Structure 1
């Protein structure tokens, strides 16, 4: 038995019928477009609640007395291979990153790399992205309320990593990345003419943003503390202000510290510190 293939015939629709079908399909296409634009048809959306940071819990564990924060603030997710700590809150994410940095610092401390406690995350040759300035220079008197702090770059405890430079009180960022920034300022207050000064001491971290067409400064962190209270036995008291957090800094950005009342600063105090940790 033989089989033969019969070629199919081309069936041409009349031209008026083709134009009629095109005319009828146009309103339907427009209607579907309007419905999609105004959200009447389901579209794929990502909720902010779905965006969260998850890390292996072991990376942020410090010690049993400090780890209560993990279980009271983070969502614990267990899978077959690891235990994850997750959060979508910005404050929690900042704390997670800070704890990761602190854990790394403590591990280096236990291995003998860290000699200067507690502000250092390893010596300069161990962390090329780590910079720290210790000690401040005599501050120029200014009529302005806030004065930029000038740091002692020549101190034996100061050093610069390869991803930062320092000019006139400013750290300049060479490579865009997240940075853990910390600053500690020690200030004093005295009785003068048997009267006590009043007011607050403000410690502020600024970011100088250098763009192609414009430059401007913005506040990253600030802390204003009531002045310490000397007693009549001791006419001088010492207070301190510390700030630390994580920020994304771009190449060309600069960060610097300003304080109120520069005459209250202890110039030779080794606890006056300004540092960056390139993450």
Structure 2
């Protein structure tokens, strides 16, 4: 009898713990073009974040999972180093309804090199990728201390990554979180068909916005596998995930 009671109590505790997860996200990493070698490292790092911060996650590369019924279970979707045209018209419509229903989007690195022909998406991301120079070390500065995940970041710090040059703002509602100092690296790039001179004095690399009923967070960081093991990046990224999924965490 005692063993039965103990078993039932333990089972109830386990069920309660599962039910008490803060939120649930989909990590979506389909590519139609360049495939980042850091994707697996990103999935592993986000899985560790989910255990550390008690939320649930699924990893998907099958675009058919972007449908109304399946998306119902998620609070946010993370586009992890996606590239190119990855969703058909029906899937795009389902994702738009997901965001309009008050849910969240997290774009990591080449999420800004995705779906150029889908204006709703590019406006949600905020800016699109143009070109990048070779991987380099540069100085990053924190622009907004109110956004979650910035609380313990230094005012500025050295970081090595693939620094994107972005096109103009596609949304007037972007709030910038991080920027990179072009004086600390060489921003020029020449790919023949496209050239880049950098973005000048103001070169944002992370931002957020309230968008079409939901929330959108983007970060340029995440190109290199090694960066996914760095505590600074994980704090920055989790702040974005937490805010996009819950709408919480902003300092007043």
Could you tell me the TM-score, scaled by structure 1's length?
A: 0.26
Task: Decide which structure has the larger Cα Rg and report it.
Answer: 1
Determine which structure has the larger helix proportion and give its number. 2
Determine which structure has the larger strand proportion and give its number. 1
